[in-house]
Each structure stands twice: as C-alpha cells, then as structure tokens.
Chain A
Amino acid sequence: MHEVSIAQSIIEIVSGQCRKGGYRSITSIRVRIGRASGIMPDALLFAFDAIKADSPARQAVLEIEEVCVSGRCRDCGRDFSVEGEYVLDCPLCGGLAFEITAGREMDVTDMEVEE
C-alpha cells in the first residue's frame, strides 16, 4: 500500500544522483526488493510510472530484482531459501532454530543515464 512513498523515495535518490553527476536523463533504474519487505512489485511499477513525469526519471524504466527469503538453520546447519514471504520452520529439517539472512532488502542498486 505504501508503494507510492517507496516510488517517491526511489525517484528522490536517483534524481539526486542525476543532479550530482550532471547527467541529462535517466533511462533505467534497478532496485532490489525482498519478498518479505511488504512491497508488491506490480504496485511499485504502477506507482513509479504514475509519478515519474516531473522528474529526471520521466523516461526511465524501473527494473525490479526480487530477492527470496533465505535463512540458515542452526539445527541442521544448512542454508535454505523459500518462495513465500515468511519462514515458520526450516524447510529442510523442520527445525525452529533458524535465522533469516535475506528477504527484507529495499535498495536502489544502479541506474543507466544519458550524459
């Protein structure tokens, strides 16, 4: 639901970089979004396209790299990764002693620009 504010933050970050580097415009932006971040990629794309008009990213394409929820189990010692948004027990051994190692990402990673 807060994809609009996320899209706004992305635009602020890349616009700042665009000003700093003196680039003419931005053609694409890559972001990394974890499955457990509560962000829906489709909603983010929609929000981004809806608000990009008055920014240096007005022609930019947003590319979303989704990151699976992953963890490390202390019971069986193995690393795992799941399709869903959360982990209730280790999918390999059923153990409850695990730590989540990925899935909450929300980062801008890079952008392509015209100089």
Chain B
Amino acid sequence: MSAREGTTPAPAPRPHRLGAVRTVLASLALALALVATMMPVIASDTMALGLLAFPLLAAMVLAAVIVLAPYRLCLLRGPRAAGLLAAVSYAMAFVLISLIAAHPGQAGSGFWALVVVAWAIAWLSVEEMAGLKPRQPLWGRAIALAIPLTFGAWLLILWQVLVVGFAVPKVLLPPPSDIWVRLIASPEVLWADFRQTFLKGVLIGYALGCGAGFLVAILVDRVPFLRRGLLPIGNLVSALPIIGVAPIMVMWFGFDWPSKAAVVVIMTFFPMLVNTVTGLAAADRMQLDLMHTYAANYPQTLLKMRLPMAMPFVFNALKINSTLALIGAIVAEFFGTPIVGMGFRISTEVGRMNIDMVWASIAVAALAGSLFYGLVTLAERAVTFWHPSVRR
C-alpha cells in the first residue's frame, strides 16, 4: 500500500524473507527446471529428444538451478540477484528461441516447462529490480527504464516462442523475427509510405489544425459571447467520430495527401480550440487583479500572464492531437489513396495476406507515433517546466 512506501526501513535488520509471490515463483521455477530434465524437449511423431540431446540448453538449466537455489534460500539478493536472474533469463530465452527455430512446431512438454522457467526467472528479476533503492539518481533512472523494457522484451520473446512452437500459420500471426526481416528487407517501400503519410499528411495537417485551433481560441476568448456559444459545441464535437469525414475529404481534395491533411486538420482543430479556451480562462482572479493594478493592456496581459498560464492546456491538446493526427491520416487512406502510404499498405497487404508486411508497417507507425509524442513531451517539459506535474 502506498502509505508504506515513503517510509524508511525498520530498525533492527529483520531476517530477509521473500514475499509470497516471489516464494511461489522461485519454488515453481526450481521444481519445473528439475522436472524438465525428464521430459522430451523436442517431440514429433517420429522422435523424442530429451534435455541431454541439447548440451547448451542443459548448461542453461544448470545455470538456472545454480542461481535459483540460493535465491530461494534467501542467500542471494539485492542488485546481484537482479543482475544474475536477468542474465540467466535472457540467455535461456536466446537458447530456447534458436532451438525452436530449428524444430518449428515440434515443441515438447519439456520445452514449454523451460519457457515457463525462463519467464518466471525474468519476473523474479523484475521483482528484484523494482525493490532496489539505488543511491545515485542515474541508476534509479536506468532501473526505471530497464523494468518496462524487460516487460516488452518478454512480450516479444513469448510471442516468438509461442508462434514458432505451435507452428501458428503465418497468415494469422507471424513471429517477430519474420516481421523484423520484413522491416529491414523493404526500407524503400516503408520510407515512401512514411513520407507520404507522416511527413506530408500528418505533419502538415497537424500544424494547420493546431495553429488554426489556437488562433481561433484567442479570438473566441476576446468575445465572451462566442466563448459561451462555441465551448459547449467544441466539447461535443471532440467526442464525435470525426474520422467519418474522411470519405468526404477524399472526394473534395482528391486521393493524394491534401485530403489526408484535411482530415487531420478537422480532427485536431477542436481539441486545440477547447483546451486553449479553457487554458486562457485558467488565470485566477487574483492574478488578473495584479495585472490590473499594473494597468497592463490586453496584449500585455495575454502575453505575459494568460498565455503562459494556458501552456499546460495547449500542450495537453498537442499531445492528444499527435495521436489523433496519425490515426486520422491512416484511416483516411482506407477510403482511397495513390498507391503509397501507410494506410494503403496496411489495407492492401491484408488483402494479399502478407501479414508480416502489415506488422512491419504497424511497427513503423507505432515508432513514429511514439517519437512524435515523445518530442511533444520534451517540448512540454522545456516550456512548462514550472508546472507542478513537470517540476520535481
């Protein structure tokens, strides 16, 4: 519970104990590792190979037991435990992945048992990492990064192992390795799609939509009547499926990027309008009175106080819009494009059952989206460094 977290450790060094989760996981991993030595690792109709047929894997299992046993007995702990557990789990994952790549669809019960062992060790390493309280902030930052990365890496590892181990048809779900191969094999196509959709449609539409929303908000703010009339409508429109205007925009502006940019403009306009108007109203009475005592005129009040106060709201809109813009441009391409673009690629390759290409496109889109969002967040940190949610 959160109340406990802020406090310092108890006085007398209590005997080191593992929590319930860790005890269960460590015991389970140990038991499974031992049991797996007696189960077939690779099995098909014609053959069954045990652990001893794969010396590298056997060595890994040995290493796992050597780390797990003292860990379970509470002899191994702290940063060393976290590091050793992580190393063993990744090494096991690597060996398991290369093993199953050679025998797709022939995973035996021993194989799956070892997958569970490796996963349990990875979880334990994360438990240990999460419990570390390093003195140096740099280490703290590194751990805060390592934990989600481990989680993401294991998502990919399990995906790879499950898909290859069960020989899932590639048209249903390709393994990450195939997607990676596709990704590095077709950079020209992906780059052309990226340029068409992101650099043209998304960025231009985003700049126009956000800029227009911001300027209109400042105008609207000067006229209380308009503010009262437009704010409820803007709020309503923000909740509507605006994406539906895509076919109309395609009809009006043609198949090429201007129609995508137009969809993005419409989608990003209203969140920016609503947020900026709200932000401009965020200045409280006392601060307005202060500007009043200085006899500041409207532009001075706007520039020196109300716009800076509104910045957190503006950046909120910029962040929301960075996601909306990408969605808008991709979905708009479902309604018609020249033969290039991320949305076009996704919809046509799905039709051709080239699912690995689809995933490669999605990976590019995800990366672009995250980077875009990250850049906006960095800008936010720089501009609104004074705000409590950024300050530390």
Partners in one complex: no
